[in-house]
Amino acid sequence: MANEEEVQWPASRDERLSASVREVNRRSVTDLLTATSYPAPPTPVPGCATCDQLAALRHMARAEADGSRETDADVLLRRHQRQAHPGDGAAPVPRLRVFRYVPYSIVQDGSAEPEYEACCVSGDEADCGAASGRHPDPAKVEEWQRQHMQETRHTRYRRCFADYSVLETTG
């Protein structure tokens, strides 16, 4: 029976990205669980219907385990208290920024055409350097390569593709 060796290969770009996202998510959850610098939720001002309504929204969000809606209710309650109850003697709440992960997809921008280009890197002592110029159609670049090869017998080209992309939220 032959010894089986474990085959290893470099991680793909997607595997590295997935591992990075898992690590960021793990650190994010750990930081949230161990954080002590978050301010206490605001308390409603007695007798204020708006404060009571926003506190009820926060309570419902907490009961449904919807942390985003709970945070939104806290933000709205603090904003209301700063505007409607500025002189009630409450200590100013330190501003806190919470960054949430938002999933994005990178997609090709449909309003801009991609560009194709080729540059001849053949030559005896140095690269030829002849270039096709930029074209929106790869067929024109390939035709330029065929013509250049017929004229010079050069067979090696560096091809470039460029496009514009946009990030769109997926969630």
Per-residue pLDDT tens listing for the chain (171 residues): 455 666 677 878 888 778 877 877 777 666 665 655 566 788 888 889 999 999 999 989 889 888 888 888 888 888 888 888 877 655 555 666 777 788 888 988 888 889 999 999 987 778 899 999 999 999 999 999 999 999 999 999 999 999 999 988 886
The residue type of 78 is R
| Residue 19, both tokens | 């591992």
Q: What residue ranges in the chain does DSSP mark as E strands?
A: 104-108, 115-120, 157-162, 165-169
* Cα–Cα dist 157/145, whole Å: 8
| Position 79, amino acid | R
Position 14, amino acid: D
145 within 8 A of 132, measured Cβ to Cβ: yes
